[in-house]
Each structure stands twice: as structure tokens, then as C-alpha cells.
Amino acid sequence: MAKEITEIENSSNKNKKPIALIKKRDRGLVDFNNSKISNAIYKALMAAGKADYKLAERLSEKVVQKMDQQFSVFDTNRIPSVEDVQDMVESILIEEGLSETAKAYILYRHERRKIRDEKKKILNKKDLDEVDKSFDINSLRVLASRYLLRDNNNEIIEDPKSLFERVAILVTIPEILHDTELYSNTDVVVQNITEAEEYYKKIDDFHLKLKIGNHYLNNYHFESMIRHYIHLAKSGHMKISFKDLLRLIAEGHLSKYSDRIIEYYNLMVSKDFLPNTPTLMNAGAKLGQLSACFVLDMKDDMSDIMKSSTDAAMIFKSGGGVGINYSSIRPEGDIVASTSGVASGPISFMRIIDTITDVVKQGGKRRGANMGIMESWHPDIEKFVTAKTKPGIFENFNVSIGIWSDFWESVINENNHRYTLRNPTTHEPIKQIDSHQLLDLITFSAWKSAEPGVIFFDNINKYNPCINVKAGPLRATNPCGEQSLYPYESCNLGSINLANFVKRNIDGKYEFDWQRYEQAIRLSTRFLDNVIDMNKYPVEEIEHNTQLTRRIGLGIMGIADLLFTLEIPYNSKEGYEFMNRVAEALSYYSMEESVAIAKGRGPFPLFNQTDYVEGKMIPVAGYYEIPKRHQSYDWDSLVEKIKKYGIRNSWTTTIAPTGTLSMIADTSNGVEPVFALVFEKRVTVGRFFYTNRIFENVLKENGLYNDEILTKIANNYGSVRGLSEIPEKLQQIFVTAIDVHWTDHLLAQAVWQKWISNAIAKTINMPSDVTVEDIKAAYLLSHELGLKGVTVYRDGSRHEQVLHITGTDKEKKFIVKPSAYVTDYIQSNIKEDYVMKQVEKVFRDTEVMEVAADNTINISQSKLKMNMTASPNEYNEYEACPSCNARLIITEGCNMCIECGFSSCMSG
């Protein structure tokens, strides 16, 4: 009998198959993945102070072996559930004598259950799908509060999966219409436009009636398809009628584009790339406005001023922000010939836009943002500089001073600092001022209130390929300053999450995945080019001018988290060299892909009028300023391709603010260092800490994770510098914004700026005790480093703190000094004597401070107050988030809430 049983079991073992499927909690089936068990056990081991991944893998193998025995021998039809697997893990941990790890795993299961329940509550769902599970709770809160569509009762009517699908479908429509069977870039074909226009009346009839593969087009997708078809047909590019297009879709002949929908969908769901906020909100939805930033003109004419004001209102209503250069308006007190009256000046017209912004909410969800610019030669420049020094004035505006080379030449001239102010309408000289006094006024205002910023129009236009066409030089930017635009031009932005592009080697160390990064750049470039065609522009002139240049702004986020993973200090030689290569790749591959798009669809319409044609000018400073032996890519070959085929997009790269997008992707902001590794949050039921996820894992792996150390880090301004409990290597790797000297902040921005065709949103963080001279030196150095603009933030100005720290025991246990690399770089590369004198003084002051402090500095709360001009009561005030009333921080040149994702900037 025993022999017969053994034979039956042996027969069963021969016939059994390894476990291939797992039953999810929603009863669906997914492929069995052993690594998920290993990762879960590893987390439990870390929590128990036994971080050993090889042990986790060995225990995982035991779990699989036991599951094979239980589920495959006598009942081949039974598929294990997730709960079965987790029960088995507990059993193995106990059998192996790992009681503490088993306890940690049980707590982990309980915590995961709480998280699942919280996610269901946020999304108002009974079951979670794989996309819901892939986003953390904070990400889902941001998506639910700002992005997911709602009905008239404000109830959520879509989930994240549906959101990303509706965006992916919309941006695939241009791919369909440019299919070679439908579209010709060379022949001129006449189609019946009226027939296509008739379908506007039938939009609702086609809601969810057509599909590409398994992806149904809603009525707004259909409307966008009509609009783009008509645009292409008017240019004579469509080979078939609109009715024939619908027939091809209905018969499934274009279902191959389902693959492209899936590509775009996966690009976003994986959090490898996210488009700017308006695209996520409005793509495939009623509003249909997809751009983050716009620039309007404001001439010295009342009808033009009123038109610009009306257009601004339409932009705010559609969900965008506006930049306006007010320099063309005559100064206050000037005589108006037509009425013999006295001009009220440009600042008065800023008040009109400020009031409109208060009244009109963006897309019905939040107030818009503005950039007000005045150039340094304007007679009202001193009034403009000080316009925002008092709280409550122009709160809907960022303000910046536009600088040209003549001003800087006056500043650095040792013998003559006279600078001429001119009437904008007559161009006649009004008076001369001392350029140093104006620069001192600008820097004092920035020291006091963090504004104005400075925009270097000479650097912006140095490599402007469109400068010789009708539009001339660029003279305005979007609200956050990173995107210079011509009047009535818009830009579509998006950001690649660098933190995702790592792969693990056999030794357990991580390296950057350059091949996958290239693929993401190429696909994201196509994505953004398609957004231009799908956009429902708020003003007709904006559509026309945006189509002329087809400017896009592909950027990045997550550099700080990526450097943490790669164990590269942000402000180190290795860090700067790595960022340089990442930035170069971004522009090179985006431009190369733009050329590939131009081969099939044609270059941007103004191409033949630009300096691109003869290869004289591409908008990338590094091509001209970095020796070829230090370049990683064959730029000369790319220039030849542009001359031969054209380029689809006049500019391709921008580093935009990514505050909200970073929260969705659970990564660090833009090119910024993290603002804090640990910060404290107090709620009604107690207090807890937010900890950077990568840093938290490293603390656990090193057995350092506990409430005591988290409290010390939070009270050390979120930094590990100067804490004896933290190994020196980790102190070097895990740097925060406050750890990085402002000269290193500037150099980091300059490294990126060499290869980014537009500009960069970044905050140059400074401690509260810096002087006005420090800020002046920062402005001078910024210009010499080739930056296109700079935003300086001194901790404590504007009343809110740069770090979101609520503890009362703050004690800064370190001083910040320039890195050796930035010191050498500045001394080797800055040639202007006046600039070097100012910067060297900063270096000397830092050295004196370091000696006096005996390598350690304790800055108490009272000392911070003494360094402030504000009263103690004012110091304790802060700017509250308009959505949730939490404290705002300053990052990427924007106010941002780390509780709900609100950002005063529009792009992210």
C-alpha cells in the first residue's frame, strides 16, 4: 500500500507544473512573480534590523517550494491567492526561527491592509486595480483632488487608469492622422472641409462609438480629431475625406495605433514621464486646454491693453498662466498726446491683470499666476523693483527685471557706472542713473522679499535661432521664468522621472540605464509634439503663433533621488559631470527625434526663415561653449541632419517646476536637491515624520532607523550634516537644499543650462544670515555662468520658511561652504575682474565664519530672529496654502504645498 501511495505521489510530481498564476484580492489572475515575495521578506528583515537580500531570496525559495507542494500535488486546479502566499511567508519565517522578522511581516501586512483601505476611500472604489496599487497614498490624493474628472455633484467619475488612458488616446490621434496612407507631406490634395465641419454638430452622437483597438474615443477625443483633420486638410495634406477616415477607424484598419496608445499610457503609468498639469487635467475632457504657460503682448495703446487683459482672463479660465513684459508702456507722469492727460504708468496696468487673476479661477480650480517683467532701462524701473516689498501687494505676480548686456557692461566698468533710462514710446533718453545703485536696489529687494528675480535677455537671445525672423529677440517668459516665449505663444511641457532609470548590477549597486533613458526621451518628444496639435487654445492668436514655432519643453524631475540611489553627492565633481551628461542626452535625443518627426510631417513653419537653415544656430550653448572632446554626442552630425530635413520643434527642452508632478511620481523636484530628508508633521492624533523613501531604506539597511534619529534630523533643518550618529559617507551623499552653498546651486543650474534650449526653474537657496552683498554676487556670477534667469530665496524672507519644519527645537549643527569643485571652477572660468572681486569676498567671509565656528555652528531660533528685519511675530507667520491651509515652501521658484500638491506655478 505504501509503495502504491509513493508511486502516485511520484507520478503527480512528474506531472505538476510550477505555480504560474496568483489570484488577486479582486479575484483576478496575474502572473506569479517570485521577486515580490523576496522584496516583501527583505522589507521585514530590514524592519527587524537584519537587512540581508540573499537571505530574503533563500527564504523566498522555501516559500515557493512549500507552495508547490501544497498547491500543485493533489489539486492541480487550485490557484493560490495573495493571502495564501502571505500566510506561507509567515509560516516559513516562524519555522526558520525569525520571530522578530515574522512580527515585522505581520505588521507589514496590517499596514498594507490599512493602505489599501485608505486608497479605496480616496478613489471611492470597492476594489483596486494594478494602477491604483502602483501609486502611493499621497500620489492618489493629489490625483483625486486635482486631476480625476468629477460630475456635477463633485463626485469622482474616473480612476487613475482611466485618466492616463484618456490622455494617451488624445495624444495618439495625430499619429493616426499622419499615417502615410492618410497624409502626404509633399502632395497638395483638396478635401471637402465643410463635410468635416458638419461633424461638429454630431460630436455627442459619436461618444464611445469609435475605437482604436480596444480603446474607445469619447466625444472630446472625437472633437479634437475633427479639429486636427480640418487643420491638415486646409493645408492640403489629407489624402482622404473625413468620412473615409471614420470608415477606416470603424472597420479596424487603424487598430495598429492601439500599440502607440499603450506606449504612451505605459510611459505615464510607469511614472517614467508625466506631461504638465493642464494636459493631465484637460486631455480628452471638456476644457481641452493643454498648455501650462503663455506670454501676452502689452503695447502702449489702450485698446491693446484691454485686449491683452481680456485674453489673460480667457487664459486663466482655461487653466494657464501668463507672462507680460510691461516695458512698452510709457512711464508714470508722461503726457498722453491724444488726451493731454497724464499716464498712470505700467504698474497701474499690472493691477488690472492682478485683479482679473483674483476673479477668474484657472479652469474653475485655482487662481492663475503671472510674470510681470520690466527692462532695466525703463524710467519706472525703481518703482517696479520695490513694488512687491510689502506683503499683500501683487500676490498673483512673480516680478523680474529684464537685463541686457548694456546694463552689465555698465556694472562691470570700473570707470563709469552711468546708465541711461529711456522713454519706451520715443526712445529718447530720460535721465542717467548709477547702475550700481540700481543693482543694489534690486538685490536689497530680493534679500528682503525674494523678489524681483532677474532675467538675462542677452543670454536668452545669444543662441536664439528665430532672432532674425519677424519676431526679433525674446523679451518675456512664463510665470516661473523657465520658458521664454514670443507674444501670443504657448509652450507644452513635460518631465522625465530620472529616478526611475536605474538598473541593479550583480554586486547590488545601481547604474543609470542610458538606453532606456534615450527611449523615453524620444517617445516623450513625440508625445509633446502631438500635444501641440491636440490643444484647444484659449485665444486664436496663440494657436497661430504656437503652430509657427512648435516649441516644446521636455524636462526632468527626480535628479536628487537618482543621485541618492547612485551614491553620488549632488555638489561634487562626479555629480556635476553626471548631470552634464544627462542634460546633454536630453537635448541631443529630443532634437534628433524632432528631426525624425520633421522627415514625415515637415519642420516647424518658420524653419526656412531661421538660422537653422544654414546650420548657423541651434539653441544649445554647450554645442558652442564646451570643447568637442568633452561632448558625449555627435552634434555636428545632428546639425547636418537639421539642415537636410529640418526640425519639427524650434526649441525642445525646458526644466520646468514639477512640484505636483513630483508628488504624483513620488520623486524629488526638477533639478533641485531635496528640501529636507526628514520633516515633521503634526496632526490632531499626534505627530509623525515624512522621510525621503530612499534615505529611509538606507537608514534601515544600516540599522539607524528610529524616532530618535528622525527627530534629530528634522530639528537639524531636515539635514544629516553634523550629526555624529550618521556615517560620514551618508552625510556626503544625502545632501539637502540647505546643505548646498548658493554658489553650488548656481553651478548646478549652469551645468544644466549649457544643454537646455530654454531655461530652468530653480531656487538658489540661501540661509537667513546672508548679506545683500551675497545676493549681488549671486546675480553677477549667474550672468557670467550663462544662466538665462535666476531666483534667489533667502530663508526667512516672505515670512514663510524654506523648509517645512514645525518643530520648536531647531538647531543647525553645521555651516555651509562652497565645494572645492565650485571654488576651482569659478577661479578658472570667471574672467571679469569686478565679478571675481565680489565672489572672492564671499569665499573669504565663509572661511572666516568656518574658523570662528570651530567647524561647528549652532544657530538657535533667537539668533535667526536677530538676523531678520521682521519682528518676532512677523517671523512666525507664514504663507498658507489656499487649498488646505498648510505651510507653503519655496522650490523651483514657486510656492508649493507638500500636503496637497498646490503649486503657484502652472507646469507641475
Q: pLDDT digit string (tens) for 394-429?
A: 888 889 999 999 999 999 987 888 999 999 999 999
Lowest mean pLDDT segment, chosen from 6-10, 598-602, 776-780: 6-10
Is residue 898 predicted with pLDDT exceeding 50?
yes
Closest by CA position to 879, among listed 866, 890, 868: 890
Cβ–Cβ under 8 Å, residues 554 and 494: yes
Lowest mean pLDDT segment, chosen from 253-262, 309-318, 488-497, 852-861: 852-861
Closest by CA position to 175, among listed 135, 139, 225: 225
Q: What is the mean pLDDT of residues 704-731?
A: 94
Query: Other CB atoms closer than 10 Å to residue 275's CB: what's the count?
Result: 28
List the catalytic residues.
478, 480, 482
Exposed, middle or buried by CB within 10 Å (0-12, 13-18, 19+), for 502?
middle
Q: What is the pLDDT of residue 5?
A: 42
Cβ–Cβ under 8 Å, residues 690 and 887: no
Choose the most confident range, by mean pLDDT, from 317-321, 513-517, 877-881: 513-517
pLDDT in tens, 75-105: 545 787 778 878 887 788 888 788 888 787 7
pLDDT in tens, 808-826: 566 666 788 999 999 999 9
The DSSP secondary-structure symbol of 340 reads T
Is residue 619 predicted with pLDDT exceeding 90?
yes
Output the CA torsion 63→66→68→71 (10° steps).
Answer: -110
Which carries the bigger pLDDT value, residue 830 or residue 682? 830
Q: What is the pLDDT of residue 445?
A: 92
Lowest mean pLDDT segment, chosen from 76-90, 461-475, 684-698: 76-90
Lowest mean pLDDT segment, chosen from 507-521, 656-670, 774-788, 865-879: 865-879
Is residue 363 predicted with pLDDT exceeding 80?
no
How far apart CA 40 and CA 33 sit, in angstroms, is 12
Q: What is the mean pLDDT of residues 242-250?
A: 97
The DSSP secondary-structure symbol of 799 reads S
Closest by CA position to 11, among listed 62, 53, 60, 72: 72
Q: What does the block give as the cell for 351?
A: 493691477
Which carries the bigger pLDDT value, residue 455 or residue 881? 455
How far apart CA 848 and CA 759 sit, in angstroms, is 35
SS3 state of residue 668: coil
Distance of CA 5 to the CA centre of its chain: 65
Q: What percent of the chain shows pLDDT beyond 70? A: 86
Q: How many helices (H) and strands (E) does the chain have?
A: 35, 26
Q: What is the pLDDT of residue 689?
A: 80
Q: What is the pLDDT of residue 361?
A: 61
Closest by CA position to 233, among listed 162, 182, 304: 182
Q: How many residues does the chain have?
A: 908
Cβ–Cβ under 8 Å, residues 597 and 529: yes
Q: What is the mean pLDDT of residues 784-788?
A: 97
Closest by CA position to 542, among listed 488, 580, 481: 488
Looking at 388-540, which runs of residues are DSSP E strands?
Answer: 397-403, 418-422, 429-434, 453-456, 489-497, 502-504, 510-512
Q: Which helix (H) or strand (E) holds 891?
A: strand 888-891
The DSSP secondary-structure symbol of 559 reads H
Choose the most confident range, by mean pLDDT, from 31-45, 563-577, 669-683: 563-577
Contacts of 806 (CB under 8 A, 6+ apart): 679, 680, 681, 682, 887
Q: What percent of the chain shows pLDDT beyond 90? A: 63
Q: What is the pLDDT of residue 454?
A: 96
Is residue 338 predicted with pLDDT exceeding 80?
no
Contacts of 293 (CB under 8 A, 6+ apart): 320, 321, 323, 478, 479, 480, 483, 485, 490, 491, 493, 906, 907
* pLDDT bracket for residue 901 (50, 70, 90): low
Q: What is the mean pLDDT of residues 510-529?
A: 98
Closest by CA position to 59, among listed 50, 181, 546, 219: 50
Q: What is the mean pLDDT of residues 377-394?
A: 87
How far apart CA 639 and CA 510 sit, in angstroms, is 34
Bridge pairing between strands 502-504 and 510-512: antiparallel
Q: What is the mean pLDDT of residues 629-642?
A: 97
Cβ–Cβ under 8 Å, residues 884 and 896: no
The DSSP secondary-structure symbol of 255 reads G
Does residue 275 have a cis peptide bond before it, meaning omega lies within 30 degrees of 0?
A: no
Q: What is the mean pLDDT of residues 468-478?
A: 89
Is residue 656 predicted with pLDDT exceeding 70?
yes
Lowest mean pLDDT segment, chosen from 32-46, 356-370, 373-387, 415-429: 356-370
Lowest mean pLDDT segment, chosen from 211-215, 707-711, 842-846: 842-846
Is residue 908 predicted with pLDDT exceeding 80?
no
* pLDDT bracket for residue 583 (50, 70, 90): very high
Distance of CA 841 to the CA centre of its chain: 35
Q: What is the pLDDT of residue 139?
A: 94
Q: What is the mean pLDDT of residues 257-269?
A: 98
Q: What letter represents residue 403's amino acid?
A: I
Cβ–Cβ under 8 Å, residues 886 and 894: no
Q: What letter represents residue 699's amino acid?
A: L
pLDDT in tens, 587-607: 999 999 999 999 999 999 999
pLDDT in tens, 438-462: 999 999 999 988 899 999 999 999 9
Handedness of CA 267, 39, 133, 901 (dihedral sign): negative
Which residue has 533710462 as its cell numbers? 421
Largest CA distance in the chain: 118
| Residue 166 φ then ψ, to 5° | -65, -35
